[in-house]
Chain A
Amino acid sequence: MIAKLLYSGLLASLIAGTAFAGEPRGTNDMGIVVERAIGKVLVVETTRRTVLGEVEGLGDLSHAAAVFSRDGRYAYVFGRDGGLSKVDILTNTLVKRVMQAGNSIGGSISQDGTLIAVQNYEPGGVKIFDAVTLDQLADIPATYGEGGARSKVVGLADAPGKRFVWTLYEAGEIWVADLADPKNPQVRKFKNAGRQPYDGLITPDGRWYIAGLFGEDGLALLDMWNPDKGVQRILDGYGKGDPALPVFKMPHLRGWGFADGKMFLPAIGRHEVLVVDVRTWKEVGRVPVKGQPVFVMPRPDGRQVWVNFALPDNGFMQVIDVPSLSVQKTLEPGPGVLHFEFTPRGETVWVSVRDKDAVKIYDTGTLDEVSQFKADKPSGILFTARANKIGL
Chain B
Amino acid sequence: MRNLFLLAAAVPILFYGVAAPAWAGDPIPSPARQSELDYMLRQDCGSCHGMTFKGGLGSPLLPEQLEGKSEDALADVVLDGIPGTPMPPWRSLLTQPEARWMIARLRRGLDQ
Contacts and interface: CB of A to CB of B under 8 A. Distances in A.
B56 A198 contact: no
Contacts of A62: 46-47, 50-52, 56
Contact of A121 (B43, B46, B56, B81): B56
Interface in B69-106: 81, 84-86, 88-90, 92-93
B33 interface: no
A103 B51 contact: no
Q: In the complex, which of the residues B55, B56, B84, B93 has the most CB atoms of chain A within 10 Å of its own CB atom?
A: B56
B57 interface: yes
A375 to B, nearest CB: 15
A293 interface: no
B108 interface: no
A81 B63 CA distance: 18
B55 A196 contact: no
A60 B50 contact: yes
Interface stretch (A9-17, A108-116, A247-255, A319-327): A247-255
Describe B's contact surface by its main secondary structure: loop
Nearest to B47: A249
Contacts of A355: 39, 43
Contact of A250 (B42, B50, B86): B86
A354 interface: yes
Contact of A312 (B51, B56, B89, B93): B93
Nearest to B43: A354
Size bracket, chain A contacts: 20 to 34
Contacts of A36: 51
Interface residues of B, number: 23
A377 interface: yes
6 contacts: A62-B52, A103-B56, A196-B85, A196-B86, A246-B92, A377-B43
B55 A249 contact: no
A70 interface: no
Contact of B89 (A121, A246, A311): A246
Given A63-B56, A80-B50, A246 B81 contact: yes
B86 A214 contact: yes
A247 B52 contact: no
Contact of B84 (A102, A152, A215, A336): A215
B57 A198 contact: yes
A178 B96 CA distance: 51
B52 A198 contact: no
Contacts of B54: 80-81, 102-103
A331 interface: no
A311 B94 CA distance: 12
B28 interface: no
Interface string A231-266: 000000000000000111110000000000000000
A314 B86 CA distance: 18
A247 B52 CA distance: 22
A209 interface: no
Nearest to A195: B84
Contacts of A248: 44, 88, 90, 93
B66 interface: no
A350 interface: no
